């Protein structure tokens, strides 16, 4: 199945750089000291039914915990400029005392990440510490979306609702039970990204674009064999196209979050 991106509330907890510096140094080429880094932990996924009426099983979360370690966090102030700013050095399952909306024990996938205290990261660190950046989007891919009613594979499509071959439609009720897409068998976890914070009024808005047909023609003119020769470039192009293919729903969500961020930013400006 295609890579999936989900938005997730970013419940920030402080992580202890003094205690964790050994783990962090596994990823660094030069030895870092606790004062060189800023650490935080965040909930990457959980087994709650999400806004898309989809849910992870605890088994999937377990598999994802191994896949997310070492992955990066990227910043995207505007959706097209991305850079790696953080790295997950520990990812573990956390069983909570809370229940999910379906009555199961709420289990979270808790990641701890570090950022370097560099001049470039200063603004983002301030925003994270100040609670301005509070949501992340998490990318992963799964092999199976199972119907919670009958267990059959559900099919996503861009033109009709997600359903299984027994016509159970995601979000609809069947004899009092809501059909949910169970996300099973994760294939990979990608980076997480900090949701854009408009650093100035109007920044971060998704702009409409005029497709440049000559560019598409250029890509289509390259033979598949030629593209396959440069794996890295090919991956970059595929990723770029997948981002471009984001559903209207995802765009709407991002617009809502940007509006919310904008509100918070106004509050923040008033207070300071």
Residue that is written with structure tokens 């854009």 in the block: 196
Binding pattern for the stretch 208-237 against Zn ion, x by CB under 5 A and - elsewhere? ------------------------------
What is the smallest separation between the CB atom of 175 and Zn ion, expressed in angstroms?
12
What is the smallest separation between the CB atom of 157 and Zn ion, expressed in angstroms?
16
What is the smallest separation between the CB atom of 60 and Zn ion, expressed in angstroms?
18
What is the smallest separation between the CB atom of 101 and Zn ion, expressed in angstroms?
20
Question: CA–CA separation, 132 vs 129, rounded Å?
Answer: 8
**Binding residues for Zn ion, total number by CB under 5 A:** 7
Nearer to Zn ion, 177 or 245 (CB): 177
Question: CA–CA separation, 203 vs 196, rounded Å?
Answer: 9
Pairing of strands 181-194, 54-56: parallel
Nearer to Zn ion, 124 or 149 (CB): 149
Binding pattern for the stretch 130-169 against Zn ion, x by CB under 5 A and - elsewhere? -----------------x-xx-x-----------x-x-x-
Q: Which two tokens stand for residue 7?
A: 């938005």
Nearer to Zn ion, 64 or 147 (CB): 147
Nearer to Zn ion, 163 or 253 (CB): 163
Nearer to Zn ion, 166 or 229 (CB): 166
Task: Report DSSP state, residue 108.
Answer: E
What is the smallest separation between the CB atom of 180 and Zn ion, expressed in angstroms?
10
Question: CA–CA separation, 264 vs 266, rounded Å?
Answer: 5
Nearer to Zn ion, 93 or 150 (CB): 150
88's CB contacts (< 8 A; 6+ apart) are 68, 69, 70, 71, 72, 73, 111, 112, 113, 192
What is the smallest separation between the CB atom of 149 and Zn ion, expressed in angstroms?
4
The answer to the question of residue 107 lying near Zn ion (CB under 5 A) is no
Q: Which residues pair with 92 in a beta bridge?
A: 110
What is the smallest separation between the CB atom of 61 and Zn ion, expressed in angstroms?
22
Largest CA distance in the chain: 60
Nearer to Zn ion, 131 or 151 (CB): 151
Nearer to Zn ion, 118 or 166 (CB): 166
Q: Which two tokens stand for residue 82?
A: 């991305």
* Long-range contacts from 14-20, C-beta under 8 angstroms, 24+ separation: 14/39, 14/40, 14/41, 15/39, 15/40, 15/41, 15/112, 15/113, 15/114, 17/114, 20/89, 20/90, 20/112, 20/114
What is the smallest separation between the CB atom of 7 and Zn ion, expressed in angstroms?
26
Q: Which residues pair with 46 in a beta bridge?
A: 108
Q: Rule CB under 5 A: which residues touch Zn ion?
A: 147, 149-150, 152, 164, 166, 168
């Amino acid at each position: 199945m295609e890579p999936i991106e989900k938005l997730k509330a970013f419940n920030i907890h402080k992580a202890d750089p003094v205690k964790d510096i050994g783990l962090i140094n596994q990823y660094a080429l030069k030895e870092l000291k606790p004062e060189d880094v800023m650490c935080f932990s965040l909930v990457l996924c959980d087994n709650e039914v999400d806004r898309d009426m989809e849910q992870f099983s605890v088994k999937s979360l377990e598999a994802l915990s191994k896949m997310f370690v070492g992955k990066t966090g990227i910043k995207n102030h505007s959706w097209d400029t991305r850079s790696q700013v953080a790295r997950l050095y520990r990812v573990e399952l956390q069983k909570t005392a809370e229940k999910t909306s379906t009555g199961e024990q709420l289990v979270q996938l808790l990641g701890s990440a570090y950022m370097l205290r560099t001049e470039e990261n200063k603004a983002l660190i301030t925003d994270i510490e100040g609670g301005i950046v509070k949501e992340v989007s998490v990318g992963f891919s799964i092999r199976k979306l199972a119907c919670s009613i009958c267990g059959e594979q559900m099919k996503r499509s861009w033109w009709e609702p997600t359903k299984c071959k027994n016509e159970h439609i995601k979000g609809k009720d069947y004899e009092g039970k809501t059909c949910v897409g169970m996300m099973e068998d994760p294939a990979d976890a990608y980076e997480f990204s900090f949701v854009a914070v408009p650093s100035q009024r109007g920044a971060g808005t998704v702009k409409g674009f005029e497709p440049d047909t000559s560019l598409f023609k250029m890509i289509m003119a390259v033979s598949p064999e030629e593209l396959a020769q440069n794996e890295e470039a090919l991956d970059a192009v595929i990723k770029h196209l997948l981002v471009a293919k984001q559903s209207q729903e995802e765009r709407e969500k991002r617009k809502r979050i940007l509006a919310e961020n904008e509100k918070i930013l106004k509050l923040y400006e008033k207070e300071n």
